[in-house]
C-alpha cells in the first residue's frame, strides 16, 4: 500500500516534469511511442528503447487498450519477412535494445479502441529482475518514423 502510494507520487512527479523516460529496477525505458491507427485497425505496434545496466529480461507486456500484448521479432523466412512472438526479450548488460518498426516491437493485439494522435495510453512492462513498470505511450502520427532524438540519444 505504502509502496504503491510512493509509486503514484513518483509517476505524478514524472508527469509534472514532462519526462518521457521510466525505470524498472536498473532498466531505463525511453520514449515509448506508437503510431495512430485507423478506426478499423485490430492491431498496432508500440516502440521504445530499453537499457539495463546489469542485464535483465523483458518477460511480458500488458495494456488496457488491447486484449493481448506480445513482444515480436522480425525474421526472414526464405525471402519473406515474418514476425513471431518472443517468450522473453534479452537485455544484455549496458546495451541499448531498440524496439522499432521493422525490428523487435511490442504488438497490441485486439485493439479495444482507436489510437489517436496526441494522446497517451498506459503500457505495463514486466522484467525478470526489475519487476513491473507502467509507462505512458505517446501516440504519434500514422506515418511517424522513430524520432531523430530517440535514435541519436545513445550514440
Site for Cu ion, rule CB under 5 A: 72, 83, 107
Q: How far is the CB of 110 from Cu ion (least distance, A)?
A: 13
Q: How far is the CB of 22 from Cu ion (least distance, A)?
A: 22
- 145 DSSP 8-state letter: -
Beta bridge partners of 29: 22, 50
Q: Which is nearer to Cu ion, 35 or 72 (CB)?
A: 72
A 10 A CB-CB count for 76 gives 8
Helix, coil or strand: residue 86: coil
What are phi and psi for residue 16, nearest 5 degrees? -60, -40
Q: Which is nearer to Cu ion, 107 or 124 (CB)?
A: 107
Q: Which is nearer to Cu ion, 55 or 103 (CB)?
A: 103
Q: How far is the CB of 85 from Cu ion (least distance, A)?
A: 8
Q: Which is nearer to Cu ion, 84 or 112 (CB)?
A: 84
Residue with cell 505524478: 12
Q: How far is the CB of 118 from Cu ion (least distance, A)?
A: 24
C-alpha distances (whole Å) from 116 to each of 3, 119, 138 are: 33, 6, 10
Q: Which is nearer to Cu ion, 83 or 86 (CB)?
A: 83
Q: Which helix (H) or strand (E) holds 106?
A: strand 105-111
- Asked if residues 101 and 47 have their Cβ atoms less than 8 Å apart, the reply is yes
Q: How far is the CB of 109 from Cu ion (least distance, A)?
A: 8
Amino acid at each position: 500500500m505504502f509502496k504503491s502510494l510512493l509509486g503514484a507520487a513518483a509517476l505524478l512527479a514524472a508527469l509534472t516534469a514532462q519526462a518521457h523516460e521510466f525505470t524498472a529496477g536498473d532498466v531505463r525505458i525511453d520514449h515509448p511511442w506508437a503510431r495512430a491507427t485507423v478506426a478499423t485497425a485490430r492491431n498496432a505496434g508500440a516502440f521504445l528503447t530499453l537499457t539495463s545496466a546489469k542485464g535483465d529480461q523483458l518477460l511480458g507486456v500488458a495494456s488496457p487498450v488491447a486484449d493481448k500484448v506480445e513482444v515480436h521479432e522480425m525474421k526472414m523466412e526464405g525471402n519473406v519477412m515474418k514476425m513471431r512472438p518472443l517468450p522473453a526479450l534479452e537485455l544484455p548488460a549496458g546495451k541499448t535494445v531498440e524496439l522499432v518498426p521493422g525490428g523487435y516491437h511490442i504488438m497490441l493485439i485486439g485493439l479495444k479502441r482507436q489510437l489517436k494522435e496526441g494522446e497517451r495510453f498506459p503500457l505495463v512492462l514486466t522484467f525478470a529482475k526489475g519487476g513491473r513498470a507502467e509507462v505512458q505511450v505517446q501516440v504519434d502520427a500514422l506515418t511517424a518514423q522513430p524520432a531523430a532524438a530517440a535514435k541519436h540519444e545513445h550514440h
